[in-house]
Amino acid sequence: MNVMMNFEERKREKQLSYERKLLRDLSIDEVKKSMIIHFNRMRIGVGPLEEGVEEACFDVAIEAYLNGGIFSRFTLHGETIEMAKKRCHREITHFIDTLYYFWLYWDYGKKMISDEDIFLACEHFVDYWWVKGYRKGERRYKLRLH
């Protein structure tokens, strides 16, 4: 006897499966190095980033990476990376704003770092991980690993 599945359940199952496959290529060490590169000017003291700030950066990097990987499917239809970025502009700005506001909250009242520096660093960080996810997803589609 066959199991009946809802279309939404099947779609969600396929999405989770694809995201798991994309996450296999993501390295935690690579995300840590990226955080050091992008947010080096904002680190206070010599030690590593605080745990809460590090977790927020991880969350946003993973979400941007997955979003880029998901939107890479439009490569099959002839879209360029710029066209895909325009298509998901709202999500990208949401990731940037989320990370930016987290940094502002972390620095609240201390004024140790400039608002403009934070925003630019967040923008570059999110763009870096979105493009990286897009490239990985594009490679998976070209190699038919999706």
Whether residue 104 is predicted with pLDDT greater than 90 in this model: the reply is no
The pLDDT score that the predictor gives to residue 86 is 92
Q: Cα separation of 54 and 49, whole Å?
A: 6
Write the CB contacts of 59 (distance below 8 Å, at least 6 apart in sequence): none
Rounded mean pLDDT, 119-126: 93
Q: Cα separation of 126 and 146, whole Å?
A: 24
Residues recorded for the chain: 146
Contact by Cβ (8 Å): 35, 49: yes
List Cα–Cα distances, 78 to 67, 74, 82, 138, in angstroms: 18, 7, 12, 11
Confidence band for 96, pLDDT divided at 50, 70 and 90? very high
Determine phi and psi for 92, rounding to 5 degrees: -60, -45
CB atoms within 10 A of CB 120: 14
- The DSSP 8-state label assigned to residue 78 in this structure reads T
The pLDDT score that the predictor gives to residue 45 is 43
Q: Which of 94, 93, 67 is nearest to 81 (CA)?
A: 67
Write the CB contacts of 39 (distance below 8 Å, at least 6 apart in sequence): 49, 57, 121, 125
The pLDDT score that the predictor gives to residue 46 is 41
